[in-house]
Amino acid sequence: MDFDLNPEQRDFQRTLRDFVDREIKPVASELERSGEYPTAIVEQLKHMGLFGMTIPETYGGLGLDAVSFAIVFEELSRGWMGIAGTLGTHSLSCWMINQYGTDEQKQQYLPGLATGDRRTGVGLTEPDAGSDLQGIRTTAILDGDHYVVNGRKTWITNARHADPLPVLVKTDPQAQPRHKGMSILLIDAGTPGFEVLRDLGKLGYKGPESCEIVFDNVRVPIANLLGGIEGRGMQQALPALESGRINIAARAVGIAQASYDAALEYSRARTAFGQPISDFQAIQLKLADLATNVQAARLLTYWAASEQAAGKRADMQSGMAKYFASEVAIKSALEAMRIHGGYGYSTEYVVERLYRDAPLMAIGEGTNEILRTLIAKSLTSGRDSIG
């Protein structure tokens, strides 16, 4: 069994790490405090081709393997988890369009999305429907050669930049079971009736916007039905979320790694009773736990990614990785803060931001409570096993 990255992945990781250390870490805290959109960083991400991670080279993308995909989000989140969010739902949406779109849809959208000239996100969550996607209320009723869309979505990352925005809708509100009446429409920016209402205030995850949007009699051409066949929306969204959970797991690893790095550096520099606090056993035990948990979360995430890269169904594996890594991120950020003592509560130190960013990892792409039930169902059904 090989638990190491191959040479290409290692070089890719080194390039990203150098970029993050040079261009993101020095400005992340100031940009977050000011609320300024990270335009300059986004432009550099475009130049590096990272908006095309999940797009094949045929359409101008990088076509990264799943492990390299995870490396991107781990390294970016080590510098600033918020900036990773700019690529997160964009990459998920690009994967979905490439996987399920018609040839015409791929040719129309993917080249621009690969360069970052176009951006995208994904419109799933609603005010009354988060983990229960079958409970959405947004409808798309066929009227001639267009669908008429009405409804509301919330917590939509990249909403102000998305063109197109894939939106989960009910094309047959009366269908039973409900998922058979659900479809995904690619809604172009600027379509009349498609409006971003407001940016939502957040505890952490600053940088990319998270918005509430409304659809008021939005007319969408039939040609923008993802895949061209109604009733496949859930079958298209759920596999994309599998990839999204690897993204979230990797972001959590990045937060955990940054927490450990900050704790280790501070413990070596801070003195008490005439010696570095890293010499005290109480601190040493915390550092040992942090390092062990970070590496365990990383290996679980890379395992899930490698399963997906091998073409295997990886919903249980990605669920395990996202669940475990997100809990490690939360605990690591808290322990790093405690090692810093009072300074950990100060905005002058990075651990305060890590502490605010970490909880989202337990919520995004399915809450950990939901994922634990999905993992259990995979095990009890006999579809997956451990050992």
Cα separations in angstroms, 128 against 124, 125, 177, 361, 363: 11, 8, 19, 21, 16
Catalytic residue among 126, 212, 307, 365: 365
Whether residue 320 contacts residue 372, with contact meaning beta carbons closer than 8 Å, is answered with: no
Of the candidates 95, 106, 352, the one whose C-alpha atom is nearest the C-alpha of residue 237 is 95
Contacts with 325 (C-beta within 8 Å, 6 or more apart), sequence order: 248, 249, 250, 252, 253, 256, 297, 298, 300, 301, 361
Which tokens belong to 343? 């300074």
> Any idea what the Cα angle at residue 329 is, between residues 383 and 123, rounded to 5°?
65
Based on its alpha-carbon atoms, the radius of gyration of the chain, rounded to whole angstroms, reads 21
- Is 365 known to be catalytic? yes
DSSP for 106-128? HHHHHHHHHHTSSB---B--BTT
Q: Which residues are catalytic?
A: 365
